[in-house]
Amino acid sequence: MSRAETGGTSRAGTESANESGAVGVDAAGRGAEGASGVLAVRAPSGLWALGLFRSELVTVLRRWRTLALLGVLAAVPVLIGIAVRIETPGGGGGRGGGGGGPAFIEQITNNGLFLVFASLAATLPVFLPMAVGVVAGDAVAGEASSGTLRYLLVAPAGRTRLLLAKYVSVLAFCLTATLAVALSALAVGALLFPLGDVTTISGTQISFADGLLRALAIAVVVAASLTGIAALGLFISTLTNSGIAAMASTVGLLITVQILGQIPQLHAIQPYLFTRYWLSFADVLREPVYWDQLVKNFELQALYVAVFGSAAWARFTTKDITA
């Protein structure tokens, strides 16, 4: 699963790499042209670098696998909305409020905007991070498994710039996936339930417009919460030439961390797990907003980005690329 899905070898600079007959790239990022020596390349311009970022982003978002993941994520609010509608009086059931389930689910029948909050709470622990793990794990390893990575490096990209472009594209997917859930939930909520003023967790009421702004802020917070696993997945992707292995390892690590977070005896390490403060986005729906857990979440994600982003850079800039 890689650039072959979207004709990726037509990317900026790849054609020139193919014409040169390059067969490998060493740890310094230099191209090899058979036995004739080192291939000379020019330093990339700023516009070329912007083109690289844009190309990476388009490549990620146009893959069929990415579109399928977004489709599955967008379907979750539909299922939740229909289930709650069926269980409410006049909708085919009689238990009203749905009882239990994700946070905010009992308020959905009174205000469809709460379907946004409930859907994000339902998808954040598993579905959203798994989708991000798949995309991040495939970022570098997928290129290596399809044989296109060495051509990207023969072009005047530079390893650091290429790795940064891939991480930015994964971050863009984090935001896109989160917005897919939120927008789908908003549409379904408006279709199946009434809309109006929002009652915050603190018990106060805010206008519907303010509620929409809070929903947008929550979507941004959720996307920011996924930056840590995105960096972790990118690092794992630099360790192997198998896209499937990198994706499976990232998702497996996510599941392991989720399990560790539920074992009381491991309370000493739980504050350092990247999943620790994921649900702190609910504090945005308080009046006033509680910033304590939100700030801790941002700090923890920044720590993971710094540590595993640096590890990914160190690995990627020193390894020999032969695939």
pTM for the whole structure: 0.79
- Which stretches of the chain are DSSP H helices? 14-20, 46-62, 64-86, 114-123, 127-146, 149-154, 159-192, 208-225, 227-237, 243-260, 292-316
Q: For residue 31, list its beta bridge partners.
A: 25, 39
In whole angstroms, give the CA distance from residue 224 to residue 221.
5
pLDDT of residue 56: 79
Q: For residue 198, list its beta bridge partners.
A: 206
pLDDT in tens, 175-195: 999 999 999 999 999 999 999
pLDDT of residue 230: 95
pLDDT in tens, 25-76: 444 444 444 444 444 445 555 555 577 788 778 888 888 888 999 999 999 9
- On the CB side of 32, CA atoms within 13 Å amount to 13
Residue 303, classified by CB atoms within 10 Å of its CB into exposed (0-12), middle (13-18) or buried (19+), is middle
Supply φ then ψ for residue 283, to 5 degrees.
Answer: -70, -15
- On the CB side of 227, CA atoms within 13 Å amount to 22
In whole angstroms, give the CA distance from residue 187 to residue 50.
34
pLDDT of residue 89: 61
| Cα torsion angle, 65, 66, 71, 77, sign | positive
CA–CA distance from 39 to each of 17, 55, 61 (Å)?
A: 10, 24, 32
**Better pLDDT: 157 or 306:** 306
In whole angstroms, give the CA distance from residue 187 to residue 48.
39
pLDDT band with cut points at 50, 70 and 90 for residue 4: very low
Tokens 């793990």 sit on residue? 133
pLDDT of residue 147: 67
pLDDT in tens, 228-248: 999 999 999 999 888 889 899
Residue 59, classified by CB atoms within 10 Å of its CB into exposed (0-12), middle (13-18) or buried (19+), is buried
**Which of 58, 63, 69 has its CA nearest to residue 1?**
63
pLDDT in tens, 99-139: 334 557 778 888 899 999 999 999 998 899 999 999 998 88
| Cα torsion angle, 245, 13, 165, 315, sign | positive
- The secondary structure of 42-54 as a DSSP string is PPPPHHHHHHHHH
Total number of residues shown for the chain: 323
pLDDT band with cut points at 50, 70 and 90 for residue 215: very high
**Which of 89, 105, 11, 21 has its CA nearest to residue 53?**
11
Copy the structure tokens of residue 318.
């020193």
In whole angstroms, give the CA distance from residue 283 to residue 297.
12
**% the chain with pLDDT above 70:** 75
Q: Are 78 and 188 in contact (CB under 8 A)?
A: yes
Q: For residue 39, list its beta bridge partners.
A: 31
